[in-house]
């Protein structure tokens, strides 16, 4: 049966001299990741040979030559260069707003697609009409498995993670729910949330529930998106036959404290939006979890100093937890982006 192509008005540049709507739109956000961006775009192009597609990159005011790279080496890529860091959700929405494909692949720039990742996922989605969102198998740079499926946030899941129950009982379906640590990642499975590093979305779903909630600067945006999809009758699947490599944290490592505070802020926003009655309890759990981590790292630092073995990573984590506790206490901690 001939596939229906969803047509929409767009300012995106056509792939050829003819105005042909692509089957797939690849949407990427970049922030000071020029090295990863180049490798990612090369892998995308290798995966889309013969496929009607378009690639849209939104750059969040990088200072590392990313915009120049795209213009010079990837002239067929649609580039949107922001004059400030607009946040991940807003930038993805900019890409989706001009995308014309029946399917949209939301992809991190610090990934490399292995052969067949795109075509296999497209085939799966075309065979499963109820699949609104599909994620794939994700590997670390050393080719070990990277957990990429999550359960929706809940009071129990926050407690399991913050009080280390999920680490004590990782194979338990009760305590291991936050990151599905009991899941083997070797079978197709309906899940709550897939990691936004690779998330293929059906255009019909976007038309149904809207785009990313821009109140999430970053983090929890894909959780909110998957949650709204499920509320509207769509399913999210993990599909193991498509595989990518995800380096992870490339654009956040130099500002770990800012991003850690933003992670907590995103938790608050999600709960406030969907389960407001639980917000005071969730904040209490998160705050208690921070104190536990702060005290553990403080003891580790004291022990290391006593032995004359200074550890920069312990100091960095202690700084991160301390500043986040100060933020909870009402201190004004200004993020680097604004």
Q: Which pLDDT value is given to residue 8?
A: 30
The sign one gets for the Cα dihedral 208, 213, 218, 219 is negative
- State the Cα–Cα distance between residues 250 and 9, nearest whole angstrom: 34
- State the Cα–Cα distance between residues 139 and 128, nearest whole angstrom: 25
Contact by Cβ (8 Å): 73, 40: no
Nearest by Cα to 137 from 47, 223, 198: 198
Nearest by Cα to 223 from 324, 150, 296, 280: 150
Q: Which pLDDT value is given to residue 14?
A: 40
- Site of tokens 């080496």: 73
Contacts of 108 by beta carbon, 8 Å cutoff, 6+ apart: 28, 29, 40, 196, 197, 198, 246
Q: Which pLDDT value is given to residue 294?
A: 95
Note the pLDDT tens digit of each residue in 188-240.
999 999 999 999 999 999 999 999 998 888 889 999 999 999 999 999 999 99
Contact by Cβ (8 Å): 136, 240: yes
Note the pLDDT tens digit of each residue in 75-109.
999 999 999 988 889 999 999 999 999 999 999 99
Q: Which pLDDT value is given to residue 3?
A: 35
Q: Which pLDDT value is given to residue 308?
A: 74
| pLDDT less than 50: residues of the chain | 1-18, 250-252, 254, 336-338
Domains belonging to the chain, first-starting first, are 24-148+185-246 (3.90.550.10), 255-328 (no CATH)
- State the Cα–Cα distance between residues 174 and 171, nearest whole angstrom: 9
Q: Which pLDDT value is given to residue 188?
A: 97
Q: Which pLDDT value is given to residue 255?
A: 53
Q: Which pLDDT value is given to residue 333?
A: 59
Q: CA distances (Å), 194 to each of 8, 135, 197, in order?
A: 27, 5, 9
């Amino acid at each position: 049966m001939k596939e229906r192509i969803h047509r929409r008005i767009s300012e995106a540049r056509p792939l050829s001299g003819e105005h042909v709507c692509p089957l797939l739109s690849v949407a990427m956000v970049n922030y000071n990741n020029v090295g990863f961006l180049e490798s990612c775009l090369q892998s995308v192009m290798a995966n889309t040979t013969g496929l009607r597609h378009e690639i849209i990159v939104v750059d969040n005011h990088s200072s590392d030559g990313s915009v120049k790279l795209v213009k010079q080496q990837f002239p067929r890529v649609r580039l949107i260069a922001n004059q400030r860091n607009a946040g991940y959700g807003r930038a993805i929405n900019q890409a989706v707003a001009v995308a014309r494909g029946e399917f949209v692949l939301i992809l991190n720039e610090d990934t490399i697609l292995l052969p067949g990742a795109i075509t296999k996922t497209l085939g799966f989605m075309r065979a499963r009409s109820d699949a609104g969102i599909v994620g794939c198998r994700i590997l670390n740079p050393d080719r070990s498995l990277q957990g990429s499926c999550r359960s929706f946030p809940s009071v129990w899941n926050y407690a399991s993670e913050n009080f280390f129950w999920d680490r004590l009982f990782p194979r338990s379906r009760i305590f291991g729910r936050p990151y599905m640590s009991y899941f083997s990642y070797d079978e197709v499975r309906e899940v709550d949330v897939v990691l936004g590093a690779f998330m293929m979305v059906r255009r019909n779903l976007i038309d149904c529930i809207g785009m990313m909630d821009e109140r999430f600067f970053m983090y929890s945006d894909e959780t909110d998106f998957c949650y709204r999809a499920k509320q509207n009758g769509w399913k999210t699947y993990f599909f193991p036959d498509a595989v990518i490599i995800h380096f992870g944290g490339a654009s956040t490592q130099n500002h770990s404290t800012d991003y850690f505070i933003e992670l907590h802020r995103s938790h608050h926003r999600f709960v406030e939006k969907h389960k407001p009655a639980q917000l005071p309890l969730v904040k209490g759990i998160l705050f208690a979890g921070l104190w536990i981590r702060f005290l553990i790292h403080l003891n580790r630092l004291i022990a290391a100093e006593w032995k004359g073995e200074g550890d920069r990573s312990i100091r960095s984590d202690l700084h991160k937890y301390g500043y986040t506790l100060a933020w909870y206490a009402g201190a004004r901690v200004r993020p680097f982006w604004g």
